[in-house]
Amino acid sequence: MKTCLVCLFVLLSGLNSSSFAETGKGAPVKYISSCEIDLNNDGASDIVFLVETLRGRELIVLMRTTQGYSAFEVSTDKPNMQLSCHFGERIIETSAGKGKGTGKVHNTPGAYIKLTLPESSSVVYFWNAKGFKEVWTSD
């Protein structure tokens, strides 16, 4: 009987199954690291956060604008990687797994974000005026 009442309530209230997704229940996220760097070369520092959430490690960028901040969810599927921010105008993509030759060179606005899995792989994110571009720099 209780099950039928719950189903009826859901139907009448317009809720769907995603309304019952697991939430953080008010628990704080596990803060891992952050950095502040001008990622789009506009003269204003942007803020980068790497946090552990219910969905895993999330890389979130707050880009400073004249009105405040614009938030970007840059990555959500890189477990155990460590964050660092760097200055540099070029990134060389890894050629591992591709065979011969060197990797493609990508130009940045002068700064980029790097996630590294110690003694393993690394991936870089940089702003390309449309959004963040992902480039693997080692496998």
Mean pLDDT across the stretch 50-75? 94
For residue range 46-58, list pLDDT tens digits in order. Answer: 999 999 988 889 9
Higher pLDDT among residues 18 and 123, named by residue? 123
For residue range 98-107, list pLDDT tens digits in order. Answer: 555 678 999 9
pTM: 0.77
In this prediction, residue 100 carries a pLDDT of 56
Complete edge-to-edge strand list for the sheet that includes strand 105-116: 82-92, 105-116, 122-127, 132-138
Percent of the chain with pLDDT over 90: 59
What is the domain partition of the chain in residue ranges? 22-138
In this prediction, residue 63 carries a pLDDT of 97
Rounded Cα distance, 5 and 88, in Å = 61
